[in-house]
């Protein structure tokens, strides 16, 4: 009986040491804002103020969709160990609030002050390029957001010269249907989303 008890205890100790050698990774949930994103990685500034890198490589796009800068997200991730290096890998990602980048993308127009039957404006594409709508002498080239400021790079064509510049515009209002931009306290664009 003593031998059986000793054998049982040795088996339990051996099994316990084998189990303890394998690190079991538990899922953790991060809440925060997307600070940077690439094809295989996102950087999240958590609600606690930590900056966390999370791998999105080889994830299911249905569970881990693409994100935009400044999206508010809930990321379920777990620790992965590859070749002795530990990193966090996303298992599921939920966008809890879209960033201004999401809402501002698209085509925005207003009535043309010269021809009331036409509209004018611009299109802001996801890749950061911009194009003009019915403005032959003002060619929009690219755009970027910095907090509540829209930076529009353009070329002004006329009088046998081309001037390249950047408009720095304050976002007064931005929602699904309207975009109002001001400069030096004066409204310069009052736009509606074009379908």
Residue 30's beta-bridge partner residues?
Answer: 75
Number of neighbours of residue 65 by Cβ within 10 angstroms: 15
Binned at pLDDT 50, 70 and 90, residue 25 comes out as low
N- to C-terminal Cα separation, the chain: 83
Contacts of 32 (CB under 8 A, 6+ apart): 44, 45, 46, 47, 52, 72, 73, 75
Average the pLDDT over 90-117 and give the result: 91
Average the pLDDT over 48-75 and give the result: 92
Residues 30 and 55: their CA atoms lie apart, in Å, by 13
pLDDT over threshold 70, residue 107: yes
pLDDT over threshold 80, residue 18: no
Q: Is the dihedral of CA 68, 69, 74, 78 positive or negative?
A: positive
Average the pLDDT over 27-32 and give the result: 93
Domains and CATH numbers, the chain: 24-98 (2.40.50.140), 101-193 (2.40.128.280)
Distance of CA 192 to the CA centre of its chain: 23
Residue-wise pLDDT tens digits, 166-176 = 999 999 999 88
Length reported for the chain: 195
Residue-wise pLDDT tens digits, 146-164 = 878 999 999 999 888 999 9
- 């881990």: which residue's tokens? 64
Query: Which residues of 24-160 form beta strands (DSSP E)?
Result: 28-37, 41-46, 51-55, 72-82, 85-97, 106-111, 119-124, 130-133, 138-146, 149-158
């Amino acid at each position: 009986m003593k031998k059986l008890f000793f054998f049982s205890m040795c088996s339990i100790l051996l099994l316990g040491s084998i189990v303890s050698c394998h690190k079991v990774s538990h899922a953790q949930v991060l809440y925060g804002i997307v600070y940077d994103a690439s094809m295989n990685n996102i950087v999240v500034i958590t609600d606690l103020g930590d900056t966390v890198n999370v791998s999105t490589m080889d994830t299911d796009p249905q569970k881990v969709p693409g994100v935009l800068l400044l999206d508010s997200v809930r990321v379920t991730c777990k620790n992965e160990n590859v070749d002795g290096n530990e990193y966090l890998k996303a298992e599921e990602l939920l966008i809890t609030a879209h960033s201004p980048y999401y809402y501002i993308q698209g085509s925005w127009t207003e009535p043309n002050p010269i021809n009331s039957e036409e509209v004018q404006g611009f299109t802001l594409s996801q890749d950061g390029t911009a194009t003009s709508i019915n403005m032959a002498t003002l060619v929009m080239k690219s755009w970027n957001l910095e907090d509540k400021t829209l930076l529009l790079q353009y070329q002004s064509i006329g009088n046998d010269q081309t001037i390249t510049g950047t408009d720095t515009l304050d976002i007064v209002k931005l929602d699904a249907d309207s975009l109002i931009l001001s400069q030096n306290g004066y409204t310069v664009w009052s736009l509606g989303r074009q379908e």
